[in-house]
Amino acid sequence: RRKKLLIADMDSTIITDESLDEMAALAGLGEAVAAISVRSMNGELDFEAALDERVAMFAGQPANLFESILAATQLTAGARTLVQTMRTHRAHCYLVSGGFNPVADRIAERCGFHAAHANDMTISDDVIIGTVKKPVLGRESKAQLLAHYCAEHTLAASDAAAIGDGANDMTVLQAAGMGVAFAGKDVLRAAIDLQL
């Protein structure tokens, strides 16, 4: 039962909130962005299309919004302990998020993940342009990263644990030997047996 690989989602899993929604609240876009986030995480909207739509609303906003939300971002209770415990037992730990690198990189550092993978907003002269660099890291990408790290470390999928909360985590949770729905959305709870 002791796993050798961890693939963890970030928003509402390793951290307590949805970082893009928090940025939107600071930018005065809170309700519009959060409404799309809820539908996307419930599997009602295509993840990439929903991400593009939300990021487009940020066009012209200052890039230092990332720093502003990081100052207030809270780790979920036990998140750092999970990563540090797995690392103590020589597991490889990766933060794999549909969110954005400026947040994911810092959260990965705080928890002790080996690396982070997330998306990039296009930024020019410290201003958000309103587009996401392609390809978007979404549902299929998370499962591909699981397969990549299994191959890199000569592990089977059964050696891996994956944890997440939304519809875009479904494929990686189903592929891992231990897939955990953490405070999962309804669509995830209907499909994943192991739930916290």
d(CA 71, CA 158): 37
Strands across the sheet with 178-181, in order?
A: 115-119, 92-100, 5-8, 160-164, 178-181, 194-195
Q: Which residue has the tokens 């600071």?
A: 26
Decide if 181 contacts 196 (C-beta within 8 A).
yes
Which of 11, 21, 159, 165 is an active site residue? 11
Residue 9 a catalytic site member = yes
Catalytic positions are 9, 11
